[in-house]
Amino acid sequence: MRAPDNRYCKIGAKTIPKRPNSAPLRRVAFKTLVHAGEMRRILLSTAKILISGALLYLALRKVDLSELFSRFTVTSLFWIGLAIAIAFLQIFVGVLRWREISAACGAPLELGRAMRYNVIGSFFNQTLPSAIGGDAVRLWLVARAGAGWRAATYSIFVDRAIGLIALAIIIVASLPWSYSLIADPHGRSALLLVDLAALAGGLGFLVFGALKWHWLKTWWATHHIHACAVIANRVIFSRSRGPAVVILSLAVHVLAVVIAWCVVQSIAAPVGFSDVFVLVPPVMLITMMPISIAGWGVREATMGLAFGFAGLAANEGVNVSLLFGAVYFIVGAVGGLVWILSAEKAAQGSAPLGVPE
């Protein structure tokens, strides 16, 4: 008796060919996609490293490091220590804002847990090839804690958007003083262009949340962006949460200016507080672009350029930026210790820490 042919199956009176097993093909396609994603991440990380390295090299050509170190005294250590303490205060103020936003997103956080997540995020901001790597890690931590990926993503995205809007408002409010300090027409034009772009993006985001068009909820991308914009409007214009969120958002950026001023004092640079208040926020805005490692290189090049446009020594701008970055690097190192000793790290086990680029 002839063995049945496994290539065919019988349906009623008909004998038709079997559908080939597509599982191996699906596995191959999946592996190809994973490999392509890994290659993309490697290429992006490499590009960011090259950008940071190239910009740092160009910026450091203006700096005499031996002269910079010779300006350090015992008083310098006091100012650097104060800057580090204010950086932790800045993280705490950011935590208070994030808790208000995350509660509106359906992902309430205890104060201690939120502070721990933000400190850990400061470590990954310094180690991942992006200026927003800490946000991705905070998202992962909140989602793994039980809030769910959607609520966690919304809370981080809205928190970042509100912070960007607050920074743009500070820069707009200080434009009269900026124009009195910056006489160079190219510098004025660049400052106005960057700020208007950020402000237009932030206000456009809020307007987008006020739209009632039904089709916005039918597409995946517009659905989630619109949902985040709705939450941002609800938080900012809420009588209970709005004033606190606005004040905390402005305070986060003002504290960054105070940190920069402490750095200026540590090396006795001939720069006043008003100069720092005008020049640092635009640099922070540009540094938020995820094109380098923790903003290194981009911050130094932009700070040197800003100081030059303001008629100040460009090398002093680079000096201030290097020490400003060093302060956050130290804070990030503390965040690394918190991560190593945290319950989240112990519970992670062999699960991969998936951080999007």
Residue 15 or 303, more confident: 303
| Residue whose C-alpha is closest to residue 233's, from 161, 149, 336 | 161
Q: What is the pLDDT at residue 230?
A: 93
Mean pLDDT: which of 220-224, 236-240, 284-288, 289-293 is highest? Answer: 236-240
Q: What is the pLDDT at residue 183?
A: 82
Residue 138 within a domain: yes
**Residue 289 — pLDDT band, cuts 50, 70, 90?**
confident
Q: What is the pLDDT at residue 63?
A: 75
Q: What is the pLDDT at residue 350?
A: 44
- 311: region left, alpha or beta (phi > 0 left; psi from -120 to 50 alpha): left
Mean pLDDT: which of 121-130, 291-300, 301-310, 321-330 is highest? Answer: 321-330
Domain hosting residue 247, numbered range = 48-346
198-to-126, 220, 235, 244, 288 alpha-carbon distances in Å: 24, 24, 20, 22, 11
Q: To which H or E segment does residue 7 belong?
A: none
Residue 213 within a domain: yes
Residue 182 within a domain: yes
Q: What is the pLDDT at residue 335?
A: 94
**Residue 26 — pLDDT band, cuts 50, 70, 90?**
low
Residue 183 within a domain: yes
Residue 14 within a domain: no
**Residue 296 — pLDDT band, cuts 50, 70, 90?**
confident
How many CA atoms does the CB half-sphere of 233 hold within 13 Å?
Answer: 15
**Residue 20 — pLDDT band, cuts 50, 70, 90?**
low
| Residue whose C-alpha is closest to residue 318's, from 6, 46, 56 | 56
Residue 15 within a domain: no
Tell me the mean pLDDT in the region 106-123.
93
Residues in contact with 31: Cβ distance below 8 Å, sequence separation at least 6, in sequence order? none
Residue 98 within a domain: yes
The tens digit of pLDDT for each residue in 323-345 reads 999 999 999 999 999 999 888 77
The tens digit of pLDDT for each residue in 131-145 reads 567 888 899 999 888
pLDDT score of 250 more than 90: yes
Residue in this structure with the two tokens 């038709």, named with its chain if needed: 16
Residue 39 within a domain: no
pLDDT score of 10 more than 70: no
Proportion of the chain above pLDDT 90, given as a percent: 42
Amino acid identity for residue 171 in this structure: I
* Tally of structural domains, the chain: 1
Burial 329-356 (b: 16+ CB within 10 A, else e): bbbbebbbebbeebebeeeeeeeeeebe
Instruction: Return the structure tokens found at 175.
Output: 């434009």
Residues 245, 243: Cα–Cα separation, whole Å? 6
